[in-house]
Structure 1
């Protein structure tokens, strides 16, 4: 019988499966630096007290536009919002505001605290919509990998229980890319759980696949055709568990766990266009 730790480590170690991942990360850093030079941006805005509780805001060139909130991945323990500035440009050019959130990385913070930080980030953005001139009634959350887990947790959040001034439908849509929605296998993946320190209780309490959506917000899913069976299973799982509001799964043949972010950022790509569809206000007679 195959050792579950070895199996899950192989299935979830996406970097090991992508030989050119150092090149991809380097390219992202360069493209992100260019995005910050060529777009208006408000950087490192504090949404909380911890040093990791910061966000970057890329404003649209029109007032009252919807807001796309992007949560980065990296197994909750690596990468930074600044590595993903490149995703903002084409959404801004299409007329949307973009916020990219950070969080305290594991092991300095457990996943439960990282979730709480993202709750604070979304609540902060909702309360500051007038100041930053975006439509508080059109907030869509997107996430990649561990960030997709956090985005799904935002879709499962019961906002009025967090603070009474927050609406149940604070999140109007979701874009879940190559996410982890059932954390039970992750605690068997030694390469990452050495930092996360998940136990069975944590895995159950922090798995959005085993929670209902708190509000019927539409969402799309996507996973790369070159990704592992487990990432594909996770993607199908959330689509099935929340099927009443699942709008579409965007097929991505030839895409891996990292280049899915390039697809998300690329104007005209089916994933970009599906994301724009979630951000666009519904017709007046809808």
Structure 2
């Protein structure tokens, strides 16, 4: 039986390939050429484009950990600048250009990773995963690097939708989840607080709510109950995400992992994706080629 940790290890390899969408200069330039000014305007346009021009409330609900106030600053105004179709084309073209700059080519490793990731993404559970479903409805690219990027995008959004479901099931709201993540040492507060629109009062309000449930102590540190809950959330997220790879047998899964590992190293070496991100990526195991 596959262990949940397998899903986490795959995520650490898949996510950086997708994350160039947010951090690479090609992506920022492409969105800037469309007319978007500032990081967040382009971010909300690019990530929500598969949904179409839905109300900001829908995006805030699906993205989960952003304030509605922050989403409203970008949407629906983003669709007066460019159409979702134009944004989708720009984000894919920019991501592919970035990955090629790092040294990815249409070689056997990329083709293998792309083909196996496509098998997983096409068969991953969709019910209850709206953001994944919206991306899954988009056309599949044929070019291998583009296909790999698209597959990683699908698999990370599939995992993210599952993570949101787990948080909601445990009664952890989106704004609380950022604070819990930081208190657990998974992301630095100084990074997550400004990027997710907290001032001191907002942050303290979420801390107080977690403390009232016995999850953090008076000093703002995790209690044993908080640590247990955080572990349950991460384990449940991994268990749900692991189902996305059911279509691959053990040999194929090992082959996917081995193909992704050097490609992720290329992305990390490219230097655009920061070491500290809201996703809490783990780079400590990238030297390991075997699943």
Whether TM exceeds 0.5 here: the answer is no
Whose RCO is larger (CA < 8 A, sep 6+)?
2
Normalised TM-score (structure 2):
0.30
More strand by share: 1
Normalised TM-score (structure 1):
0.30
Tell me which structure has the larger Cα radius of gyration: 2
